[in-house]
Structure 1
Amino acid sequence: MPLPRTDRSAPRELASTAWPDISPDAWVLVPVGSTEQHGPHLPLDTDSVIARAVALRAARALASGPAGPPLVAPTLAYGSSGEHAGFPGTVSIGHDALAVVLVEMVRSLSLWARRIVFVNGHGGNTRTFDDAVGRMRTEGHDVAWTCCEAPGGDAHAGRTETSVMLHLAPADVRTQRAAPGDTRPLAAVLPDLVARGVRAVSPSGVLGDPTGACAEEGRGLLEEMVRATVRRIEAGTADQRGRLVVPARPAPRPPRATTGPDGMKTEH
C-alpha cells in the first residue's frame, strides 16, 4: 500500500517526483502485477498490491546501500493472465503485448536511469520477463527482474496470498467467502491449466486452501519476500534470462593432509 508522502523515511516514488530532482545516477524498481481473478474472496489487484508492497519495502531497505536509494515507478497493473480468462473481471494483455510494453519501458527508462529492476508479482508473467528482459540485456541495458516468492506457498489465492492481503489490505478480503479450491501441487495441475485454463481445474479460481490464513502470517511472508528481493538485488547476479539469483556459496575446501617431520599427519 502507498506510504504517506509526509514520511521522510519512505522510498521516493517516481510518480510524485519532479524531473529536476532525479539524480543522474538514478535507478528504478518497477512493480508489475496483474488484474485477474483471485477466487471469490480476494480482489482482482492482489498481485499488483503485493508487487508494489515488496518494491516499496525493498527500496527502503536498499536506500542505505552503496547504490543509493532507488525510485519506485508506478505499478504496471496488467499482465499475461490468459489462464484466468474464464472469470469476469480478469483483464489480460497477453504475452506479446506485455513483452512490447516491457521492452519500450526499458528503452525509455534507460535514457536517464542507469539500472532497472522489475519486481514481478504474477507467475503468468514469467515467460514474458524471460523473453523481454533477456532481449534487453543483449542490447546492453542494465536491467533484471525478480519475483515475489514465498517458499512453500500455495499456487493461487490460497493461504499464502490471502495471509499477505490480510496484512496489506484487510478491508479488501472477503474472509467469509474463503474456501478451499484445488489443493494439488502446481506441478500436478499445470498441464490442465495450460490446456484448459484455471476454471476447468477450479471453478472457484482458488488453487490452494485459504482457510486458516491470518494477517500475522502474512506479515512474516511479506518480510521474507522483501528480504529475498533485497538479497537478489544487492548480489546483482542474473541468469541468461535476466532473472536475479543469489550466487551459491562456494563449497568449503576439504582439509589437506600433510606429513610432518615426525611422521604425524596433520590437516589444514
Structure 2
Amino acid sequence: MYLADRTWPELGARLSEESVAVVPLGSTEQHGPHLPLATDHLIAEALASAAAEEADVIRTPTIQVGVSPHHRQFPGTMWVDPPEFREYVEAFTRNLAYHGIDRVVYVNAHGGNVQHLREVGRRLHRDGTTYALEWMWDESIPELVDELFEHNGPHAGPKETAMITHIAPELVREDQLENARDDGLVHLGDSDAFVHGARTFYDSVDNSANGAFGDPTDVTPEKAERLFEAATDQLVQLVEWLEARDREELLPKERVESSPY
C-alpha cells in the first residue's frame, strides 16, 4: 500500500496495526550517457512498490536525492551533505514511528547512502524508537549479478542498465550503450583507482570520463526481468523475516552485568 495515495481515515486503523514500512531511497545523479539521473530512485521505488504489494506492507514516498557529491562534476547531479541527509532520514523515520510503525526497511539503490543509513538505523535502535535496516538491492543477489554479467561495474553498468530496462525501458538511451562502454571504464583494474592498497580517487570522473563503469551492452530483457524478480524476492523475504520478529527481540539488549565464565 502506498501511503500517500490514502486518506487519513483510511490510514488510521491500518497504521496502528501495521508493523513494517518500506522506505525507498536513491539519488538524482549522473548515470553515464545512457541512463537517466533518476536511475537509483527509480530502482528503489520499483522494488519497494513490488515488495510492499506482495508482502502487504506500507510504502512511503521516495527520497530522491542522496549523498552524491562524488558525481558533482556531471551536469544535473544533485546531492545533500551527509549530516543533513542523516538528519532528514532520521526525522522521516521518527514520523513513521509516531504513527505506529516500529520496523523499517530502507530500500536503497545508491551506494553513497549506505553508511549514512546504517548510522541512522543505529541511532534509532539505540534509543528504542524503531528497528530500521538498510537494504541494498544488488548486495542481496551478488551471485546472480556475477552470473549474468561478465563486467558488472560499480556504477551505470549492466546491472543498473538492466533494472531500468525492466522498469522504464523508454528511458534507456540505447544508441549510447556502446559509447557508455567505450568512453567509460570497463575494468576498474585498468585505472589507478587502487595503488599499493590505497584508494586514490574521490570522484567518479577521476576514473571514468563519462561516468559509466562496466559493460552495459551486455543486457537483455530476459536478464533484466530475472534480476528484478530476484531482488524483489529477497526484499519480500526480508520484510517477512522482520514482521515475524517480536518487538522485544529487536530492542537494544541490557548491559551485561557479570561475566558468564
TM-score by length of 2: 0.79
202, 222, 233: which one pairs with 2:208? 202
Q: Which residue of 2 aligns with 1:108?
A: 95
- Cα contact 1:36–1:89 (8 A) shared by 2: yes
Rate the CA distance shift 1:177–1:123 in 2: closer, same or farther, 3 A.
Answer: same
RMSD: 2.2
In structure 1, distance between residues paired with 2:221 and 2:199 = 29
In structure 1, distance between residues paired with 2:45 and 2:231 = 12
| Secondary structure, counterpart of 1:182 in structure 2 | coil
Alpha-carbon offset, residue 188 of structure 1: 7.9
- Cα contact 2:105–2:135 (8 A) shared by 1: yes
The one-letter code of the counterpart of 2:186 is T
Alpha-carbon offset, residue 235 of structure 1: 2.2
Alpha-carbon offset, residue 196 of structure 1: 3.1
Q: Which residue of 2 aligns with 1:48?
A: 41
Query: What 5-or-longer segments of structure 1 have no aligned partner?
Result: 1-11, 63-68, 243-268
62, 85, 88: which one pairs with 2:72? 85
214, 239, 243: which one pairs with 2:220? 214
In structure 2, distance between residues paired with 1:226 and 1:37 = 24
Alignment pair present for 1:99 and 2:86: yes
Alpha-carbon offset, residue 177 of structure 1: 0.8
The superposition leaves residues 146-165 of structure 1 with CA deviations (integer Å, 9 ceiling, x where unpaired) of 11114234311111111111
Q: Which residue of 1 aligns with 2:157?
A: 158
In structure 2, distance between residues paired with 1:72 and 1:190 = 39
- Cα contact 1:165–1:215 (8 A) shared by 2: no
- Cα contact 2:71–2:204 (8 A) shared by 1: yes
Q: Which residue of 2 aligns with 1:246?
A: none
Number of positions where the alignment pairs a residue of Structure 1 with one of Structure 2: 221
Rate the CA distance shift 1:193–1:59 in 2: closer, same or farther, 3 A.
Answer: farther
- Cα contact 1:193–1:201 (8 A) shared by 2: no
Q: Which residue of 2 aligns with 1:146?
A: 135
Q: Which residue of 1 aligns with 2:58?
A: 71
In structure 1, distance between residues paired with 2:88 and 2:69 = 17
Aligned sequence identity (%): 32
In structure 2, distance between residues paired with 1:38 and 1:99 = 23
- Cα contact 1:59–1:70 (8 A) shared by 2: yes
TM-score by length of 1: 0.77
- Cα contact 2:192–2:200 (8 A) shared by 1: no
The one-letter code of the counterpart of 2:113 is N
> Which range moves more in the overlay, 127-136 or 189-198?
189-198
Alpha-carbon offset, residue 143 of structure 1: 2.2
Alignment pair present for 1:223 and 2:233: no
Query: In terms of Rg, which structure is larger?
Result: 1
In structure 1, distance between residues paired with 2:34 and 2:241 = 37
Query: What 5-or-longer segments of structure 2 have no aligned partner?
Result: 147-151, 251-261
Runs of 4+ in 1 over 6 A off after TM superposition: 190-194
Higher RCO (C-alpha 8 Å, min separation 6):
2
In structure 2, distance between residues paired with 1:39 and 1:76 = 21
The one-letter code of the counterpart of 1:47 is D
| Secondary structure, counterpart of 2:93 in structure 1 | helix
Q: Which residue of 2 aligns with 1:125?
A: 113
Alignment pair present for 1:38 and 2:41: no
The one-letter code of the counterpart of 2:88 is V
Rate the CA distance shift 1:75–1:163 in 2: closer, same or farther, 3 A.
Answer: same
